[in-house]
Copies of this chain bind each other. A is one copy, B any other.
Amino acid sequence: MSLEAILTRIDENLPAAQERLLDLLRIPSISTDPAYIPQTEAAADWLVRELQEIGFKAEKRTTPGHPMVVARHEAPRPHILFYGHYDVQPVDPLSLWSRDPFDPAIEETPKGAVIRGRGASDDKGQLMTFLEACRAWREVTGDLPGNLTIFFEGEEESGSPSLIPFMKENADELSADLALICDTGLFGHDTPAIVTMLRGLSKVELTLKAANKDLHSGMFGGLAINPIRVLTHILGSLQDDLGRVTIPGFYDGVAELSPEVAAQWQGLGFDATSFLGEVGLSQPAGEADRSPLEQIWSRPTAEINGIWGGYTGAGFKTVLPAEAHAKISFRLVGQQDPEKVLANFRKWFEAQLPADVSVDWREPEASPASMMSLENPAFEAARQALSEEWGTPAAFVGCGGSIPIAGYFKTLLDTDAMLIGFARDDDQIHSPNEKYDVECFHKGIRSWARILDRIAG
């Protein structure tokens, strides 16, 4: 077996690999829309056939929702699982697409060739990087690279309702020495990245109730409590003047960065001014004593995602409303307990309520942050492999958003997860004109070959 031979085969295979990806992109597997149930199943069938052709023992597994695809290749080596999802986001508004989102094509652009179509980046293009690496490996060596399980989900874009039950019911089969997840991006344009921390999320909606009907502020103003006043007064103190969240106990479980990670992040040269400048901002607005990368990756937040109450139409009504509402969410890090964060918030909020005002809490949800254990040597091995392929040192990075699957592997299957992906910030995922750079697809395939060479061999 020769890595160089496999990489060469990957280069030779690229035109055919693109055709295979376009084939998969033509299947409109929109998981949120019941009208697309047959097409979503067709995408699962397509992947089963593809996996079988490459040499896996693959099958479609039914769930109460869309099917899972599970494929196995037995070998006497560390068990590595690869996760991706074959469902895609809806395509509205269709009028903003430059082409039919399910008639994909390779387009030449001033920034290079792109694969344009719904799912090109999220996540069909990304999951195919791994399958194409396996295909080239098999073609060159006659065998697949190690003891592999492939696990594809068809409900990622619709809240993954079947995922936890399926993982629990098939825990023996899906537990592995390492899970690879390909649903993230590069850091900057050319720096490969391994996500080692993901923020968790707690959220809740609240309704403040005061009078039993809307009141006229002429008749009652000054005497009757206005719940919007109460809401702004309490939520207005969520952060102190330095941007720290004021809820008692909020920072319990939040750890400082290790010196190694702190030094590495420092070295990334993250340009907050440019990052914020793209959305019309200029100044970091989080904790004053934290770096911009800490603010989005390793520090927790409290945000008001929605607020409403009183008269919000055209013109003016001098009303004192009966109710006021807000949707609040918390991005969590480290060992913060997501349920406790909500409980502390409620307690803090309710302790500030004046007479005659009550609060209803609705639809609380809570999921913890994920911190990967860098002690697993696969992380360093993958970092070296990625650095070789991209010619730039790969980074261990955080992710401000939440990717629940990473936490599930740890909590349900005791399996460490390594998140590596090749998407770029301008891929327009979830938006019209989604694309995946041909360079990312090509180098992504080569990256997996290099990583598998180091960790699966």
Interface residues of A (CB under 8 A from B): 199, 201, 203, 205, 210-213, 215-226, 228-229, 231-239, 272, 275-276, 279-287, 292, 295-296, 299-301, 303-312, 315-321, 324-325, 327, 329, 331, 354-356, 363, 365, 399-402
Contact = CB atoms under 8 A, between A and B. Distances in A.
Given A222-B296, A235-B232, A355-B283, A217 B305 contact: yes
A308 B326 CA distance: 9
Contacts of A225: 281, 283, 285
Contacts of A327: 310-312, 316
A304 to B, nearest CB: 4
A213 B305 contact: no
A203 B305 contact: no
Copies in the complex: 2
B210 A307 contact: no
13 contacts: A210-B280, A211-B281, A217-B305, A222-B286, A228-B304, A276-B356, A281-B356, A303-B320, A306-B311, A306-B312, A307-B312, A308-B312, A316-B363
Given A316-B327, A400-B218, A223 B292 contact: yes
Contacts of A356: 276, 280-283, 285
A355 B329 CA distance: 23
Contact of A222 (B210, B299, B309): B299
B223 A296 contact: yes
Contact of A226 (B203, B287, B303, B311): B303
A223 B310 contact: no
Contact of A224 (B210, B228, B285): B285
A60 B327 CA distance: 55
A303 B222 CA distance: 8
6 nearest A-B residue pairs (beta carbon)? A218-B401, A236-B236, A212-B280, A306-B310, A225-B285, A222-B295
A282 B356 CA distance: 6
Given A226-B303, A306-B310, A315-B363, 18 more contacts: A210-B281, A211-B280, A215-B279, A217-B301, A217-B329, A218-B402, A219-B400, A224-B279, A225-B283, A229-B303, A285-B355, A303-B320, A305-B321, A306-B317, A306-B319, A307-B308, A307-B312, A311-B327
Contacts of A312: 306-308, 325, 327
A211 to B, nearest CB: 4
A254 to B, nearest CB: 12
